[in-house]
Structure 1
């Protein structure tokens, strides 16, 4: 099982990202928690422990974890410690800019490239 633990449901992924995820197993979405920017590091640690327990109970082979940095670090450490592979999605940032009539417009697209494993 490949758990997608992000704010980006797999139903909106590109075909390439879905194919890459399926190489790890059946894709299951586990929505990323809303994290109040005012909470303490101790509260983040507790939240990471709760989600780690939920994830470990599902026995995934791999977890995609991306979002709030401190939470991700805490969760990734816990998952790696029990032998679960954790990955991040890498992408190419494609920017289109146009200028005219006093309006500057920038459109940014992120195109999936690969999943990269976190190091132990």
Structure 2
């Protein structure tokens, strides 16, 4: 199972991204939470802990298999959630893409398109060395 915790439901993904997700089996969309900018670190951490508990429970319900969580959204929440999920042994993924920009010289407007390339695992903090 792949839990897609983002603001982009799998139904809006291109075929390349859906194909890359298939190795995890079923895709389950979870809307990324709204994180108020006035929240402090403790409030963000509390929400991340709540989500981690729900994710662990859902993956346990899904049974054995190759599970992962695609996490894309507000960075302090993402960082905290990924750290907690890594401590539980859960693979967390980011989606990577090519940013393609078209510029209209007459109006000066830019239009950006994103072409999915692959999922990249978030590094486990304990495994990093500098």
Q: State TM-score, norm by structure 2.
A: 0.88
Rounded to whole Å, the distance in 2 between the matches of 1:119 and 1:96 is: 32
Partner of 1:76: 82
Q: Runs of 4+ in structure 1 displaced over 3 angstroms? A: none
Give the alignment's Cα RMSD to 1 decimal.
0.9
| Correspondence for 2:73 among 53, 59, 67 | 67
Greater share of residues in helix: 2
Rounded to whole Å, the distance in 2 between the matches of 1:50 and 1:43 is: 11
Unaligned runs of 5+ in 1: none
| Correspondence for 1:88 among 74, 89, 94 | 94
Greater share of residues in strand: 1
Shift of 1:35: 0.8
Q: State TM-score, norm by structure 1.
A: 0.95
Partner of 2:56: 56
Partner of 1:114: 118
Rounded to whole Å, the distance in 2 between the matches of 1:82 and 1:105 is: 45
